Amino acid sequence: MKRRIVKTLALTVWISVTLTAGTPVRIDIGNVKPAISEYIYGQFIEHLGRCIYGGLWAEMIEDRKFYYPVTDDFDPWAWASDPFWNTGPYRYLNASPWKVIGPAGSVIMDSADPYVGDHTPVLILPGEGVEVGISQDGLGVVADKKYTGRILLAGDAEAAPVSIRLVLDEETILTREISGIHPEYRIHDLIFKTPVSSDSVRIEIAASGRGRLKIGTLSLMPADHIRGWRKDVVALLKELDSPIYRWPGGNFVSGYNWRDGIGERDLRPPRKNPAWKGVEHNDVGIHEYMELMDLIGAEPFVAVNTGLGTVEEVAEEVAYCNSPADSPMGRLRALNGHPEPYKVTWWAVGNEMYGDWQLGHMPLEDYVRKHIRVAEAMWAVDPGIRLIGVGSVGEWSETMMKEASGHMDLISEHIYCREIPDVTEHALQLSREILRVADAHRVYRKTIPGLAERDIRIAMDEWNYWYGDYIYGELGVRYHHKDALGVAMGLHEFFRNSDLYFMANYAQTVNVIGCIKTTTTDAAFAATGLPLKLYRRHFGVLPVDVSHVSPVLDVAAALTAGKTAVTVALVNPANEGERVRLDFGDTRVGTEGKMWMIHHPDPQAYNEPGREPAVTIREQGLSMKDHTLDVPAFSIVLVRFGIE
């Protein structure tokens, strides 16, 4: 603990308190450490819960390809809890969300000639004005906002007309009539502009003709979506400004076949999520992910399946992404709409293969051999890519470093922390874990011959708090101001170990243990998103040594890239404010600057989409002759001064 305090980086604050003598904080601007990699501000998105579907992706229809059979026994939702993480019960989809309209037996599933997946719903229309159809509740709409989509229908001509209706409180608010039905599937466009705002709208697909009507698939999105991604969430991602996103998992990737996510979107097969609850719709695959990265100006970081996947499958995925258009995989990519290679540099070779919860888990010695085979196959396709091996401090990481360090560029580590009642101790957890991992790898470098020369640095490609009930779907926990304090202190520890940490990926970005939360119609930063955004925008890149005697403050400092300004960040996780005096030694530092503060007197405060945020970033000008600052209780303070 003594060592941690001496090396703690900055903690500052705004609220005036009655302390007189400031705690001296020495900023040694002449002692510059290795630059902070921009990849420390990375993010992670996984096909899990409401991270992508119900979060990032704009699709409003649940089970739009009918993975679950539509039956007369309508009971779509089940309840589960997570005993390992001690969560309360949460709801998840366990059967079809589509309810039958009409007499029992009116809807059957055609498995002999399905449009996509294993079966397609067929409406059996008796005529004589008897209406038959299916409906789904829970769509969220905003008044005067436009929604667009499509439905694929086939069947008997006598089945027409078909009504697509939006219903609220048993009153039809909008209708789209389709008059022509053909034996072969036809696409019919849907356009709605709703007169009301509600998160309880029902969509109905119904007909009262005669014969059979097949529903291949349908889709409905806000018209302002951006290539399928939610406009409001994309705007927050741009604010977050993360340079890199790890995808598609996580545990998910160890059972994922990347080929399921390419080709015509409506024809991609829906699957049971291999690692988590719910359905994988395969609406988001390589192409959609790459488009998102292009939209927000981030680099792709693709994880490959070393669990149930084969060496050949992984090599073909690399070729699909990176090979030229005249190669076999390049031609397939071009057929799917992208002739030019994506030129993906960063690849995660598997995920958490040390855990028996992982699909395809195997003994360590077997996995080392598989990692080497996979890495060699990937480099044979593209020698310029950079590979991140699976690590876990202890026997697993040590063995990977001894036997496979020549087959990776970085090694992955993961940390998650639970809730501790004491706020200060709770906030300290992430930084302690980050330091623990760094210390272990320093030992490996000293004890494993040749490792230090290879300079295999760490990618902490999952890190976060994980506790509490799943409010935002599976793993959708709520984050509080005390978690934001801990995330800021975690960043400080990455800065202090900038010689070892090359990448870190906050897990996960949206809803699922995420720094952004959404409802069907709103999106907002959780408290933990604020320090990630603040430091990415305003903290320096060249860390300098800091020393002080405060038992609670966590302080970090860094110069800007051109060494024209110094930034000092201070975190106070305690329930009392502290005055500090910044001592820059012989360096002449200006007295005019800027200050940013994240502060709330209640460490349990949280933000919620659709409501005024309780936890915010406040910015103001700063003028002080003696560089004395008051750092309030439960606060994150970042200041910047020019160097004269």
| Class of the CATH domain delimited by 2-35+542-643 | mainly beta
Q: How far is CA 296 from CA 239, 243, 290, 302, in A?
A: 9, 9, 10, 16
pLDDT level of residue 625 (50, 70, 90 thresholds): confident
Tens digits of residue pLDDT in 193-250: 999 999 999 999 999 999 999 999 999 999 999 999 999 999 999 999 999 999 999 9
**CATH 2.60.120.260, the chain: domain bounds:** 77-222
Residues carrying CATH 3.20.20.80, the chain? 39-58+229-526
Q: How confident is the model at residue 3 (pLDDT cuts 50, 70, 90)?
A: very low
How far is it, in rounded angstroms, from Cα 212 to Cα 208? 11
CATH of 77-222, one of 3.40.50.300, 3.90.105.10, 2.130.10.10, 2.60.120.260: 2.60.120.260
Residues 6+ apart with CB under 8 A from 94: 76, 77, 78, 277
Q: Exposure of 393 by Cβ count < 10 A (0-12 exposed, 13-18 middle, 19+ buried)?
A: buried
For position 18, what pLDDT does the model report? 33
* Mean pLDDT for the stretch of residues 624-639: 95
| pLDDT above 50 (res 440) | yes
- CB 606, CB 481: distance < 8 Å: yes
Q: Give the model's confidence band at 172: pLDDT under 50 very low, under 70 low, under 90 confident, else very high.
A: very high
* pLDDT at residue 2 in the model: 32
Percentage of the chain exceeding pLDDT 90: 94
Q: Which of 256, 154, 290, 161 is nearest to 213 (CA)?
A: 154
Tokens matching residue 116: 């996509």
Q: Measured in Å, how far apart are the chain's first and last C-alpha atoms?
A: 35
Three-state DSSP at 407 gives helix
CA 545 to chain centre: 32
**pLDDT of 556 over the 90 cut:** yes
* Tens digits of residue pLDDT in 510-524: 999 999 999 999 999
- Phi-psi domain of 211 (left: phi exceeds 0; alpha: psi -120 through 50; beta: other): left
In this predicted model, what pLDDT tens digit does every residue of 4-27 receive, in sequence order? 333 333 333 333 333 346 899 999
- Which among 350, 396, 388 is positioned nearest to 370, based on CA atoms? 350
Averaged pLDDT score across all residues of the chain: 95
18 Cβ neighbours under 8 A, 6+ residues apart: none
Is the model's pLDDT at 540 over the cut of 80?
yes
Look at residues 308, 128, 203, 241 and name the one whose alpha carbon lies nearest to residue 533. 241
Structure confidence at residue 22 (pLDDT) = 87
Residue 624 has pLDDT above 90, yes or no: no
Q: ∠ CA 45-48-52 to the nearest 5 degrees?
A: 55
Of 416, 472, 466, 417, the residue nearest 90 (C-alpha): 472
pLDDT, tens only, 309-359: 999 999 999 999 999 999 999 999 999 999 999 999 999 999 999 999 999
Q: Where in the chain is the domain with CATH 2.60.40.1180?
A: 2-35+542-643
Q: Is the pLDDT of residue 390 over 80?
A: yes
The pLDDT assigned to 21 comes to 63
The gap from C-alpha 349 to its chain's centroid, in whole angstroms, comes to: 19
Model confidence at 159: pLDDT above 70: yes
Q: What percent of the chain has pLDDT over 70?
A: 97
Mean pLDDT confidence for 390-398: 98
pLDDT computed for residue 12 by the predictor = 33
pLDDT digits (tens, 9 = 90+) for 270-283: 999 999 999 999 99
Average pLDDT (272-298) is 97
Angular region, 332: left φ>0, alpha ψ -120 to 50, beta rest: alpha
State CA 583 to chain mean position distance. 39
SS3 494: helix
Bridge partners (DSSP) listed for residue 187: 152
Does domain 39-58+229-526 correspond to CATH entry 3.20.20.80?
yes
Q: Label residue 306 by pLDDT band (50, 70, 90).
A: very high
Assess contact for 20 and 479: CB atoms under 8 A: no
